[in-house]
């Protein structure tokens, strides 16, 4: 990649943000309200007692919590054809707590992710509609109720296994997003694909028809091999940016460092390069549940980097 275009002052601040997060908080030049990037974090899937208030939020950074997950399955792990139920840690992530974290910071929004990898007893979650019309009708009704109850702002699509062809997935999800947006139920939507042929075929079909309604692509770069290098990561980013042309593809890490390019091995170096080229649309992490034990150190570093003026 080309040399960084950041000024020497900003380079110093970036270095501080990568290796000494506490110093960067006090020495970085932007004011707390300076324009910055987007940070997103999945929360609640692993029932480890994490709360919104546990997660550090840097003033001025746009921050999205993503509740994980709402799933169209019932408590016996049976599919319900679009009738979504809440499967996140509702003891610690309540409607009252959603309202509280949002009222305390105007830049915080909260979304809900749909699907995920598994449900309840560990069974695989499949996207398996009976038919498009009934699934969309059920999904709009059930999700509208959940979104209003929990004071939510958007949805994220994270189905990873399918018992429907890409065209059916595209129509069901596309119509769901379109309806919720047109009715003012949500203000943004994202998708969370990763580099798997079956997964990509479904999400690219959705993107080709309804990409104009999708605000962010939460690409799961941590699904690549754990030995990913900085140059490989940037190559993957450029490849997926072409696949989702015109979209805001966000970079990502997994809190436990088990996949992709980890924060300990060059993730922030790659982010710095993308930022210098004007390509860093935002960062997201899986997940707050695991980060809690580590003191949210990578959340702090991510937001410090995003807050640096270009």
Catalytic residues: 160
Q: Strand locations in 23-120, DSSP E? A: 38-43, 62-71, 85-86, 108-116, 118-119
CB 201 within 8 A of CB 207: no
Omega of the bond prior to 72 within 30 degrees of 0, cis?
A: no
Pairing of strands 188-191, 216-218: parallel
In the numeric block, which tokens belong to residue 279? 């390509």
Q: Distance (Å, rounded) from C-alpha 254 to C-alpha 236?
A: 16
Residues 6+ apart with CB under 8 A from 145: none
Distance (Å, whole) CA 46 – CA 151: 22
Taking only Cα atoms into account, the Rg of the chain, rounded to an integer number of angstroms, comes to 19
At 253, is the secondary structure helix, strand, or coil?
A: strand
Q: Which two tokens stand for residue 235?
A: 């190559």
Cβ atoms 54, 288 nearer than 8 A: yes
Joined together, the tokens standing for residue 277 give: 């080229």
- 179 vs 68: CA distance, rounded Å: 22
> Quick one: how far is CA 143 from the chain centroid?
18
């Amino acid at each position: 990649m080309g040399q960084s275009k950041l000024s020497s002052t900003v380079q110093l601040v970036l270095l501080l943000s990568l290796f000494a997060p506490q110093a960067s908080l006090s020495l970085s030049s932007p004011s707390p309200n300076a324009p910055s990037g987007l940070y997103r974090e999945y929360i609640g899937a692993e029932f480890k007692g994490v709360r919104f208030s546990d997660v550090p939020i840097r003033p001025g950074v746009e921050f999205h919590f993503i509740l994980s997950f709402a799933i169209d399955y019932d408590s016996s792990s049976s599919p319900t054809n679009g009738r979504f139920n809440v499967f996140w840690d509702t003891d610690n992530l309540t409607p009252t707590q959603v309202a509280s974290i949002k009222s305390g910071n105007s830049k915080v929004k909260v979304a809900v992710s749909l699907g995920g990898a598994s449900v309840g007893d560990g069974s695989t979650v499949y996207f398996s509609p009976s038919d498009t019309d009934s699934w969309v009708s059920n999904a709009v009704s059930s999700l509208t109720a959940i979104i209003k109850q929990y004071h939510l702002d958007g949805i994220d699509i994270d189905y990873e296994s399918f018992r429907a062809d890409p065209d059916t997935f595209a129509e069901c999800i596309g119509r769901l997003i379109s309806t919720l947006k047109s009715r003012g139920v949500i203000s943004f939507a994202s998708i969370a694909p990763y580099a798997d042929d079956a997964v990509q075929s479904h999400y690219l079909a959705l993107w080709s028809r309804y990409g104009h309604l999708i605000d962010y692509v939460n690409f799961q770069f941590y699904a690549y091999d754990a030995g990913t290098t900085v140059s490989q990561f940037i190559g993957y980013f450029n490849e997926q940016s072409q696949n989702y042309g015109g979209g805001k593809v966000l970079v990502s890490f997994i809190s436990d460092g088990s996949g992709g390019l980890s924060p300990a091995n060059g993730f922030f170096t790659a982010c710095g390069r993308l930022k210098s080229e004007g390509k860093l649309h935002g960062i997201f992490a899986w997940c707050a549940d695991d980060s809690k034990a580590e003191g949210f150190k990578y959340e702090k570093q991510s937001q410090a980097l995003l807050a640096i003026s270009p």
